[in-house]
Chain A
Amino acid sequence: MWSIPSYLLAGMIVYGAIGWLLDRWLDTSAFFPIGTVLGLMLAGYLAYRKFSR
């Protein structure tokens, strides 16, 4: 229950970082916010599957 924030944070950091790297590499600016939101969603899904049982 109380470790959900750390999951959400971890999701945003992992996929935000991937997006940021993609942005730097491709010289774009869209992947960082996309990655952050995707990471948040994935982490939310993971937390839901882990703690809804």
Chain B
Amino acid sequence: MITLTAPAHGDEFSAPTPNELFDLPPLIPGVEWFTKPVLLAVLSAILVIGLTWAAFSKPKLVPRGMQNVVEYGYMFVRDQVARPFLGKDADRFMGLLVTLFFLVLVWNLAGVIPVVQFPVASHIAFPAVLALSIYVLKIWLGIKHQGLGGYFKNMMFPPGLPKAIYVLLSPIEFLSNMIIAPFTHAVRLFANMFAGHMLLAFFSMVGFWFLFEKLTPLGAPVGIVGVVMTIIFTGFEIFIQFLQAFLFAMLASMYIGGSLHAEH
């Protein structure tokens, strides 16, 4: 909302541009690195640590209050993210997967929290560092558990295909697993948050412009439509933000699982 009030170019309504929405100035003039997404990234990290600390620092056998809530999230990650791909190794990687899921979820939800209203993951740097960390871990685990040759052989020559076709498919496997996968891992999250923020900004801008800036009898219905769409898309965005956080952790789990055991 703070940023949306700024771009009033004149009498004509203009849709918000990516520059206005995502290229934000430093919060303190002169301290160039200290922008809104940076502040939100740090605050989200502190929030995740704070909530988890409140819940799990002295866990009780019979959960109460905060522990109940965060434990629910933990169970969700364990049963939906970790166990389907890691099986008996799930507990070893729960720390990483819980961190990923909670952090990305809070980063995403920042996009619909009033006043804050900026999804941290819509700046590609944040998904990128997470995806890169997973990528390094994936290759390290793969080489550790399957051996250098075995890892690449299992990756590029999955069993169950006609022999002649390996020549054609192995380059695809290699490129997909080694280069495209981490890229799509990060970009999927980034693009969803980016587009979602654009949509929300557009509809709230429509509502703001036609109901407050230039209130006219003709424009008012358009403004109302903008407000209604903003509400609808906020609900939709919450779902997408949750889904993307889940997917991000799930893909991480899938990559780790693929490195631990060769594909069947």
Contact = CB atoms under 8 A, between A and B. Distances in A.
Interface of A: 2-3, 5-7, 9-11, 13-14, 39, 42-43, 45-46, 49-50, 53
18 contacts: A2-B250, A2-B254, A3-B176, A3-B184, A3-B254, A7-B172, A7-B176, A10-B172, A10-B176, A14-B171, A14-B172, A14-B175, A39-B172, A43-B172, A43-B176, A45-B169, A49-B161, A53-B160
A9 B161 contact: no
Interface string B136-164: 00000000000000000000001011000
Contacts of B184: 3, 5-6, 9
Contacts of B171: 14
Given A3-B181, A49-B160, A50-B158, A10 B175 contact: yes
Interface in B201-249: 247
Contact of A10 (B161, B180, B250, B251): B180
A42 B181 contact: no
The secondary structure that dominates the B interface is helix
A47 B118 CA distance: 36
Question: Which residue, of A5, A10, A39, A49, has the highest number of chain B Cβ atoms within 10 A?
Answer: A10
Interface residues of B, number: 21
Contact of B172 (A2, A5, A11, A53): A11
A42 B158 contact: no
Given A13-B175, A39-B172, A46-B169, A6 B158 contact: no
A42 to B, nearest CB: 6
A53 B119 CA distance: 37
